Amino acid sequence: MSEKRSKSTTLLKWLTPGIGVKRWFGLLIGGAMVFGIGIAQLFLVVARANSGASWLRVVALGGTPALIRAALAGVAGVSLIILALIRINRSILAPLDLQGRDVISAMVEHRQRSRGPKIVAVGGGTGMPTLLRGLKHHTTNLTAVVTVADDGGSSGKLRRELGVLPPGDFRNNIAALARDEGLMTQLFRYRFGEGGLEGHSFGNLFITALSGVTGSFERALVESSRVLAIRGQVLPSTLADVTLGADMREVVGNGTRRVTGESTIPKTMGTVDRIFLQPDDVPAYPDTVRAILDADLIVLGPGSLFTSILPNLLVRGVAEAIRRSPAVKVYVCNVATQRGETEGFGVADHVRAIERQVGPGLFDNVLINGEFPVLEPDANFAYVRLEDGDRLFEGLHVRQAPLVDTRHPWRHDSDKLAQAIIALLAESTEDISR
């Protein structure tokens, strides 16, 4: 009974004065009646003709005015129906924000993206938002899997003081997937520069507050995503409170040094030998595993190799799900080396680091940059290049494309990267179907 009452109340709301719909519904009904009269006139003329009289005799007996009236009524009825539908459409969609686009274009774009491939991106840091910002124009079936090991900056403070998962990477990726770069998205990225909130971003505080209001961090992510109307979803690799550690090879000698804390690793002198999670057997978030197993394409990277990408793969169930997934799998190698993590690394070094942690065969394709603009003499990074003759790549499909952002040559260009990934998926799908 309550459901019927709710439906009746909804129908009665259409009669609310001033919403600009009732008159156009009336016009729609009137247009349908006029069109019906025209059809009736036409049927009368046809009936006379079928009664045995020739068409010439029907016209001579007054059929011509009847045909004209039928035609005029039909045209008038159709015109009124079209006008009414246009005005009803405008009245209903007026409260919606289409960013200056017409309704048909918005519907076509939405339909195309909703039918796009199911893509899961695994990573974090600054590389993931760059990837998502380009892919959201090709599909809305996007899932970003983000590490929860961040312990620096605003996220680290909130994590230590309030016991929440670090919201920073989630905030960045939610903002990257937002439908537009409007005021709310800018507000989400806003960082306080002074006072008691100095160093905190509004988005981090918003997600943290929602965790308290909704009772869970994962629910807070869902509600934050609704606020920005994002195209896709952002999921944690695990809901466990984990700490990232690393065994570092010392610069001098063959000794190793153990370092604890995601933010500490890049600041420690030496080379990362391996990383680990504490505790080391935390389970993967179930929705993350489901998204991976259901994906058409899984993308690892780009992002900080040891502190953004690999921590996700060390969560129990994530790497296993990637191996079992029938999806096309690609590792997107970084454009440039990163101080404190991958100095002196080439493409093969990045791949070896992943295989050393989770074993070989996790991905089939490696996408690398093939564009190298001239760097400033004081640049604190180098381009990551493909080493000639390296046997490591014999079992992998290495694809090269111009991917660099010429304004910021240490990172990828969002659109170039997205187009290369979509092209790679199309080629791989064609190869599988043959």
Q: Per-residue pLDDT tens for 121-152?
A: 999 888 999 999 999 999 999 999 999 998 88
pTM over 0.85? The answer is no
In this structure, what token pair is assigned to residue 371? 């564009």
DSSP β-ladder status, 328-332 and 297-300: parallel
Ranges of beta strands (E only) in 211-364 are 233-236, 243-249, 256-260, 271-278, 297-300, 328-332
- Distance CA(41)–CA(33), nearest Å, equals 12
Higher confidence at residue 218 or residue 86? 218
Q: Please check the confidence at residue 386 and state whether its pLDDT lies above 50.
A: yes
- Distance CA(206)–CA(211), nearest Å, equals 9
Q: How confident is the model at residue 58 (pLDDT cuts 50, 70, 90)?
A: very low
Residue type, 8: S
* Torsion over CA: 260, 262, 263, 267 (sign): positive
In the CATH scheme, what architecture does the domain 111-148+237-433 have? 3-Layer(aba) Sandwich (3.40)
Domain spans in the chain, listed from the N-terminal domain onward: 20-94, 111-148+237-433
pLDDT digits (tens, 9 = 90+) for 297-321: 999 989 999 999 999 999 999 999 9
Q: What pLDDT shows up at residue 61?
A: 46
DSSP string across 97-154: --TT--HHHHHHHHHHHHTS--EEEEE-TTHHHHHHHHHTTT-S-EEEEE-----SHH
Q: How confident is the model at residue 99 (pLDDT cuts 50, 70, 90)?
A: low
Q: What pLDDT shows up at residue 23?
A: 79
Mean pLDDT, to the nearest integer, of 173-196? 84
Q: What pLDDT shows up at residue 385?
A: 92
DSSP string across 279-311: SS-PBPPHHHHHHHHT-SEEEE-SS-IIIIIHH
φ, ψ (nearest 5 deg) of residue 316: -60, 120
Q: How confident is the model at residue 101 (pLDDT cuts 50, 70, 90)?
A: low
pLDDT digits (tens, 9 = 90+) for 221-266: 999 988 888 889 999 999 999 999 999 888 776 778 899 999 899 8
